[in-house]
Structure 1
Amino acid sequence: MCGIVGIVNRNRTVIDPAILTRMGDTLKHRGPDDEGDFIDGCVGLHHKRLAIIDLVSGHQPMSSGHLTLVFNGEIYNYIELREALKQKGHQFQTNSDTEVILKMYAEYGTDAIKQLNGMFAFLLYDREQNRLIAARDHFGIKPLYYYASNEYFLFASEIKALLQHPAVPAEADYEAMQEYVTFQYIIGDSTLFKGIHKLLPAHYQVIDLELMRVRTVRYWESCFVVDVHHTEEYFIYTLRTLLEDAIQLQLRSDVPVGTYLSGGIDSSIVTMLASKFYSKRLKTFTGAFFEGPEFDESSYAREVAAACDAEMFLIYPTDIEFIETLPRLIYHMDEPVAGPGLFPQYMVSRLAAREVTVVLGGQGGDEIFAGYTRYVVAYLEQVLKGAIFETNEEGEHIVSMSSILPNLPILQQYVPMLKHFWEHGTFEEMDRRYFSLVERIDGRSSLLSQDFLATYDREKIFRHFQQIFNHPDTLSYFNKMVNFDMVASLPALLQVEDRVSMAVSLESRVPLLDYRIVDLVTSMPPRMKFKGAETKHILKKTMKDLLPEKIMTRKDKMGFPVPLHLWAKNRAGDFLRDILLSSSCRNRGIFDERQIQRSIENDEPFSRRLWGILNLELWHQQFIDQPANAQNL
């Protein structure tokens, strides 16, 4: 796991090594073990290394003939690829997966990217073809940002590195900000910084260094064309085989490995399988809060740790740690995304980094296997709609009134959300209803100012949402929801996963996002995956012999809730007021001061309204108001 930087001077001037070094130095937390530069005229590459595979000879930038590479991530099938390349006559000087990428490209060109099973972002300079390749893994587990102007092509693992280049301004993109306040993430390749973009997951760019032109290619997309030929038994057997293989591949490491363990289905499966295949006693890492049982899943985590004889490490983050840590976390994040789970995830990562260098987690399971309760809410309304109007928009009934009833108790703690969801728009089109389920803005009780809301274009954002939601291959409501979450919201969660681990020089792996698993699951008939609106039905059925009964029968899904509304009534309340009622925040004109004060005093449990604007204001203060000082945090 590493940090990478790339510069192409389009004016063909020679790279300034001081600028390259300055950009790379902002990424030292990503790679404290080694560093290196490569400069060839108008092309410059920089690498910061966290050594995981081949600790001795894996130095980067790595060159092979006319090829030079800087690479962030891991290629899990590198051993198999290396053996196949040897059969073709390739010779290797190291045992690293980095060299495998170089040889794969030498053999297959850009088609090599399709054969990589891993998490990766890399820059590959081909001196003979006079081009630079920038590539990112299937789901965007590893980040890669870029800035393009008439003078430069710039790349980096984190935005803060790009901001160290004198040509890159730190300017807020207020159009992108409208999407952030809607979803608490930004759809597509935009960021909150004007002119700075993400290379999208499953894409690569080819920069022609002769013509200084860019070509962007999508090399993979999950397919929701339903496989009607195979039985449920086939899918269960194949899924189990792929899950076990993915875990074994991702346990490959020359440093100690552990797992995140929340006590939920996903992390429990990863932990149980990892303990089965890991050669040593597994270490697991769990977080909880003292504020009450609704903030503490540790009893479930203990059940799993005991079942696989793992060594369990537990941490209880506090409000004081929240106050001290959040500004630094905003710096590491580059831009705010997702919910308050950022804070406890960081605290658990910091705990894990004291014991291991690699950790496996269950991220992605909710998106791939439909684990969100909002899917149940959506189908509860859908079956009511069908029963009342005697219609079925999907062509076949995936969920019926009788089949959904046993799975409704999971909604008990979501009654406030149900009330809000059914206040307006009931029985509208599927895209309108799911948009209402995922949006975080509420114009009637918003913390945003009237001036901001006057410029807010909800319909424009909805049209962007529709482009993803109404994918032509997703014929069922279920697949439309899953596809949107995979394409739009999952990258935000993976950004959190990457940043909280890299902030403490820890490599986080997510085996449920092996693209082979996703290809299999997206091809399954929806009624098989979501039988009776049971979340993660097919996953539970596949792993029923592995997990403790207490985990299998859980109906109190938590998702790492943070007691922010309780902390706001005590010491954290002063912290919130200092930030959100400050003169700089008031002068910004984005937020409603009276609503903020009211929300600090009376925010609801698990609400994300305060969280969203708190992160946005801290981001402004660190990166826009005084960007030169952000790196000193």
Structure 2
Amino acid sequence: MCGIAGILSSKGQSKESLRHHGGKMLRQIAHRGPDGYGEWLSDESQVYLGHRRLAIIDPEGGKQPLSNEDGTVWVTFNGCIYNYMELSQTLRSKGHKFKTYSDTEVIVHAYEEFGEDCIKYFIGMFAFAIWDEKKKKLFCARDRMGIKPFYYIHNDSQFAFASEIKALLAADLIRKEPDYQSIQQYIYFQTTLEEKTLFKNIIKLPPGHNLVYDYASGKLTVSEYWDLRFDVDFSKSEEYFIDKLRFLLEDAVKIRLRSDVSLGAHLSGGLDSSTVVSLASMINVSGSTLNTFTGAFQEGEKFDETQYAKLVAQSVGANYQEIFPTDQDFVEYLPKIIHYMDEPAAGPGIFPQFMVSKLASQHVKVVLGGQGGDEIFAGYTRYLIGYLEECLKGSIEGTENTAEYAATLSSIIPNLPMLKQYTPMLKYFWQDGLFDSQEKRYFRLMNRSGDMKGLFNPDFKIDHDGVFASYESIFNRSNAQSFLNKMLYFDLKVHLPALLHVEDRVSMAWGLESRVPLLDHRIVELMASIPPTIKFKNGEPKYLFRQVIKNIIPSEVMNRKDKMGFPVPLHLWYQKSLKGFVKDILLDQTAKDRGFYDVNQLEKAIDNEKAFGRTIWGALCLELWFKTFMDN
């Protein structure tokens, strides 16, 4: 895992100037690569490539930027190509000469051999930029899931890119301005959609996309090289899919154990992380004991599931370590978290994730995690809520058995008791628009704005129709036929990248590489091909996944019904120890002068935040973002 940056200038900029601005970019992302610093400038063009290195594979030989034999192809790369050993053998057989044992050099020679199609051969997480000296073009790509970040700016005379937005700001190539359309998206989804960021004119390369910048013409071309298709295979049995998924899970974990440095794993006590830890312990051939890292809060059993994490660690003989973040940790680290994040995304779980990463970084340089299991295996309760309404509608209209994608009410009755604790969500979900279109129903389930819209000054106009149109274009984009697959597709394109944004930043803040085996694209593609009636059988979340892992993890974890999702006791802290901290941020003179919030409504919201509500969280993160990046 590393940090990358680069500048291409056509305005006669001196090499000293390029190096100066590039150096400023790299200093802003030094935390991503504490093990090394590298720069390269083209002799013939105004091209600068920079790299901060966290040395994981071939620590001695894998320094970057790295080139081919004659120095005509250069790469700066962030991530890991897990099948680099196999690709290296293939490329050597085709005559390519290697000078290192790193996965980085595989990218260079794969580009020489396959051109821009090289990305189709990579199993991994990556964001890279390749400068082709002969063709005078820059080729960049981001991995299929969006595990690794890539941001850029482009104007008439310059193109610049970096792993983090703060690096682009440090280069002094653009004026920092908030993008209020993106802020509206954040209010609804606590993230921005597709290529948008909270910064005007700073663009995010979407997952599964590549980018070509032609140096001579200044032309920029962005293309999608991968998208998830739901080509459902009804010819295979449930047993076939179970065997196939089991093989891919084991292989995905196996190749992610490749490391030349110490390795551990996050462990929450849920199905996903427990599966990764159990498989890693079974497959691990190094002979070393796996280190696991768990976080919880001391505010009661609703915020503590360490008993399950301890059980899993004990069952596989792993070392178990835990951390209990406090309200004072929240005060100390939240401003730093916003700095590392560049822009806020997702919910309060980012805070304990940050603290668990801090713990892990004190013991290992690489961690495995269970990120993505809910989005890939259909684990969220909201899928069952949406599914339930489809069943009711089909039963009333008499259409429940008319198509192979339909759901039946009778099939999901055994799983309805799990919705008991979600009664407030059901009341909200069904208070209006019952049996509306699928896109409108899921929009209600994903809408995080809630009471937050009432906090803003009346002069700040929220364009609901514009936000919905952007959402709808994603929800209905795929070839999915079933409501379940449409929900999964939207989450893959919007919700999951936000969680991966968090995963990248909280690990990189501590110089830690995070690997997410459940998001191996082979697993994602397999799950998309499985009929909804098999992978979400009878409305049971993660049904097929459960059949695969039932003999891998302890039965106590397998059968638990109380998975929490790392809840944070913020509503308790707001009313006591954090009230002053929150008011100092949201109600200071700078915030008032901004004129963004209705101060009276904000004060009421601070005093009345509901349990696990996101109103104050969303406002707090947004205001800290303004203070960190716009005021300073």
Instruction: Give the TM-score band, short-chain normalised.
Output: over 0.9
RMSD (CA atoms): 1.4
CA contact (8 A) 1:243 1:512 kept: yes
**What's the secondary structure of 1:71's corresponding residue?**
strand
Tell me the CA shift for residue 12 of structure 1: 4.4
User: How many angstroms does 1:393 deviate by?
Assistant: 10
Superposed, 1:280-319 pairs within 5 Å as 280-319=288-327
TM-score, with structure 1 as normaliser = 0.97
Shift of the alpha carbon at 1:303? 1.4
The residue identity in structure 1 corresponding to 2:20 is A
Q: Which region of structure 1 is more displaced relative to structure 2, 44-53 or 221-230?
A: 221-230
Tell me which amino acid in the other structure corresponds to 1:337.
A
Match of 2:129, SS state, is: strand
**Structure 2 residue 446 is matched with structure 1 residue 438:** yes
* Corresponding position of 2:10: 10
Q: State the match for 1:481 in structure 2.
A: 487
* Worse overlay, 180-189 or 387-396: 387-396
Secondary structure of 2:51 counterpart: strand
Q: Is the contact made by 1:24 and 1:161 (CA closer than 8 Å) also made in structure 2?
A: yes
**Paired residue for 2:94?**
88
Deviation at 1:472, TM superposition (A): 4.6
Quote the residue 1:58 is aligned against: 62
Partner residue in 1 for 2:244: 238
For residues 242 and 433 of structure 1, the distance between their equivalents in structure 2, rounded to whole angstroms, comes to 33
Q: 1:385 is matched with which residue: 372, 383, 393?
A: 393
* Partner SS for 2:459: helix
Match of 2:46 in 1: 42
Q: Offset at 1:503?
A: 0.1
1:22-421 counterparts in 2 under 5 A? 22-40=24-42, 41-64=45-68, 65=70, 66-278=72-284, 279=286, 280-392=288-400, 395-396=403-404, 398-421=406-429
Shift of 1:445: 7.1
Task: Please give the TM-score of this superposition, normalised by the length of structure 2.
Answer: 0.97
Deviation at 1:397, TM superposition (A): 5.7
Q: Using the alignment, how far apart are the partners of 1:431 and 1:149 within structure 2?
A: 36
Structure 1 unaligned residues grouped into runs of 5+: 627-633
Contact 2:377 2:542 in 1 (8 A): yes
Residues in 1 aligned to 2:612 and 2:446: alpha-carbon distance in whole angstroms:
15
Q: Secondary structure at the match of 2:454?
A: coil
Equivalent residue letter for 1:4: I
Residue-pair matches, total:
624
Deviation at residue 395 of structure 1 after TM alignment: 3.0
Asked if structure 2 preserves the Cα contact closer than 8 Å seen for 1:394 and 1:477, the reply is no
Q: Runs in 1 of length 4+ with deviation above 6 angstroms?
A: none
Using the alignment, how far apart are the partners of 2:401 and 2:66 within structure 1? Answer: 54
**1:413, 1:368 → 2: CA distance?**
23
Supply the AA of the counterpart residue of 1:331. H
Does residue 499 (structure 1) correspond to residue 479 (structure 2)? The answer is: no
Given that 1:399 and 1:531 are in contact with CA atoms closer than 8 Å, whether structure 2 keeps it comes out as: no
Distance 2:270 2:93 in 1: 43
Q: 2:565 aligns with which of 559, 563, 587?
A: 559
Q: Which residue of 1 aligns with 2:545?
A: 539
Give the distance between the partners of 2:11 and 2:514, measured in 1 at CA. Answer: 38
For 2:406 and 2:336, the matched residues in 1 are separated by 46
Question: Structure 1 residues 12 and 140 mapped into 2: Cα distance closer, same or farther (>3 Å)?
Answer: farther
SS of 1:163's partner is helix
CA distance in 2, matches of 1:421, 1:576: 30
Residue 401 of structure 1: how far off its partner (Å): 2.0
Q: Aligned letter for 1:511?
A: P
Query: Which string of whole-angstrom CA distances, capped at 9 and with x for unpartnered residues, describes residues 238-264 of structure 1?
Result: 100000000000000000111100011
Check whether the contact 1:394–1:475 (CA below 8 A) recurs between aligned residues: no
SS in 2 for 1:114: helix
Match of 1:631 in 2: none
Letter in structure 1 aligned against 2:383: Y
Whole-angstrom distance in 2 between the partners of 1:492 and 1:107: 34
State the alpha-carbon separation in 2 of the partners of residues 445 and 413 from structure 1: 26
- d(CA) in 2 for partners of 1:450 and 1:417? 28
> Structure 1 residues 368, 12: CA separation in 2 closer, same or farther (over 3 Å shift)?
farther
Of residues 568, 577, 583, the one that matches 1:577 is 583
Contact map agreement 1:410 1:556 (CA 8 A) in 2: no
Cα-to-partner distance string for 1:564-613 (whole Å, 9 max, x where unaligned): 00001111111111111112222222223223222222211111111111
Moved more, 603-612 or 586-595: 586-595
